[in-house]
Amino acid sequence: MPQTYDFDLFTIGGGSGGVRASRIAAGYGAKVGVAEERYLGGTCVNVGCIPKKLLVYASEFGEAFEDSAGFGWNRCRPRFDWRTLVANKDREIERLNGVYESLLTGAGARIIRHRAQLLDAHTVVVDGQQLTARYILVATGSWPTMPPIAGVDLAISSNEAFHLPELPARILIIGGGYIGVEFAGIFHGLGAQVTQVHRGPLFLRGFDDDLRAALAGEMKKRGIDLHFGTVVNRLERTAGGIAAALSNRVELEIDLVMCCTGRHPNSAGFGLEKAGVKLDGNTAIAVNEYSQTSVDNIYAVGDVTNRRNLTPVAIAEGHAVADLLFGGRSRTIDHESVPSAVFSQPPIATVGLTESAARARYGTVEIYKSVFRPLKHTLSGRDERTLMKLVVEPRSGRVLGAHMLGPDAGEIIQGLAIALQCGATKAQFDATIGIHPTAAEEFVTIREKS
């Protein structure tokens, strides 16, 4: 007699990956349960991509007001109100929480607003109730990692940055990943004095070196105080705020310290060991190319697997799991040619291989690079440069990587990602007519090798 279960699929975690898998599985006719103890939409919707991009938009208005003078506007900078921004942002996030709930319930999934823990490979405990499932999906995301600094309890993580009661006047950001870089631009654009400290020689490790260096230069022009090759030795409360002692002998007094020193897979406390689910050398759930764990009927997607920690990747992984288990369709996700953007100021975006990665893989590569002043700033007077770069394999002519620093970088690189996915060559880029006048046309008019 076949085993019967309470659910065909039980998902632990209501973020982007978990919701997509659950919704698609329910659409195939599966009986689905979803446990979420915090908020639907996960990091991206609540304390990540969406609210962060809204803050980026807010922080860009200051420069827009300044730039308008060159176009004939009477320059007058209005007053900014942090509390209004936060309240409006919260209202939008609440709306999106409702959208995610509707997506699940509309598909027929059951939402349980409690933490779930595994008892064994087919059983979870939720709010004291034992539930069984044929398949279990773990999609519990990641959590900010706080560094071992004396006095780190005085600092916040990115989670708290979205709910500050006031905008601090002086801010220290520790860390050089994309979160730290983005918040440096956000707080600076809103009027704060920003210092950013990173232990490495240059921030944004893993991105193309030309982009990293160019962005550092642009941020310094704006007045952000960057300290590379530097760590924070200690933090102490003072009468005037917080004192920070840096390893380069600089002493700072600030009002807020924000640690952006990475995120770790949120895998602890879910009973994974009871079910026999293996972790990798760190805390990530080990999975194969189909997102299957060491236990045949348990799958995992998103940041908790620490593959490519991006929302669209988690969504694609979750969709693929639902297709595999209930749709009769087996497919894998390409984690290499994933486009990404950093919503810094100016933003950067990239797809494919960096120059250093391409040289390591192919030996010889051709580099096409263009640095220019955006048309807008010929009248605004702002000293800002756009950088565009193509990495090409010389024998086949195939474009291996496309990288950009400048306005609308994410929008432009998204289109180029399709071309790279199709194996486009430099000759095909050259044969494409550009749209004039745009920055994007530079990608199809670059002819000189650098």
Which segments of 223-354 does DSSP mark as H helices, in order? 272-275, 311-326
Tokens, residue 377: 């700033």
122 is catalytic: no
Give the pLDDT confidence score for residue 243 in this predicted structure. Answer: 98
Helices and strands (H, E) in the chain, number of each type: 13, 21
Q: Which CATH number among 2.60.40.10, 3.40.1350.10, 2.60.120.10, 3.30.390.30 corresponds to the domain 346-444? A: 3.30.390.30
Count other Cβ atoms within 10 Å, centred on residue 206.
11
Give the pLDDT confidence score for residue 137 in this predicted structure. Answer: 98
Q: Which CATH number among 3.40.50.10860, 3.30.360.10, 3.40.50.720, 3.50.50.60 corresponds to the domain 152-261? A: 3.50.50.60
339 CB-contact burial (10 Å; exposed 0-12 / middle 13-18 / buried 19+): buried
Mean pLDDT of 239-252: 97
For residue 174, the cross-strand partners are: 197, 259
User: What is the pLDDT confidence band of residue 281, given thresholds at 50, 70 and 90?
Assistant: confident
DSSP class of residue 444 equals: G
User: pLDDT averaged over the chain?
Assistant: 96
Residues 6 or more apart in contact with residue 434 via CB below 8 angstroms = 440, 441, 442, 444, 445
Q: Measuring CA to CA, which residue among 137, 109, 141, 110 is closest to residue 121?
A: 137
Tokens, residue 334: 């390409």
For residue 401, the cross-strand partners are: 352, 391
Which segments of 374-433 does DSSP mark as H helices, in order? 377-380, 409-421, 426-430
- Domain 7-143+264-326 in CATH 3.50.50.60? The answer is yes
Give the pLDDT confidence score for residue 337 in this predicted structure. Answer: 87
Tokens, residue 232: 């924070």
**Alpha-carbon span 206 to 309, nearest angstrom:** 13
Q: Where are the domains of the chain?
A: 7-143+264-326, 152-261, 346-444
Coil/strand/helix, residue 386: strand
Q: What are residue 303's phi and psi, to 5 degrees?
A: -60, -25
**Alpha-carbon span 365 to 394, nearest angstrom:** 6
DSSP class of residue 15 equals: B
Position of tokens 């995120």? 263
Count other Cβ atoms within 10 Å, centred on residue 384.
20
User: What is the pLDDT confidence band of residue 404, given thresholds at 50, 70 and 90?
Assistant: very high
Classify the phi-psi angles of 373: left when phi > 0, otherwise alpha if psi is within -120 to 50, otherwise beta: beta
Give the pLDDT confidence score for residue 54 in this predicted structure. Answer: 98
Percent of the chain with pLDDT over 70: 100
pLDDT in tens, 409-434: 999 999 999 999 999 999 999 999 99
* Candidates 188, 319, 377, 436; catalytic one: 436
Tokens, residue 34: 């979803």
Domain 346-444 in the same topology as domain 152-261:
no
Rg (CA), the chain: 24
Give the pLDDT confidence score for residue 2 in this predicted structure. Answer: 59
Give the pLDDT confidence score for residue 26 in this predicted structure. Answer: 98
Task: Name the least confident of 92-101, 279-288, 361-370, 401-410.
Answer: 279-288
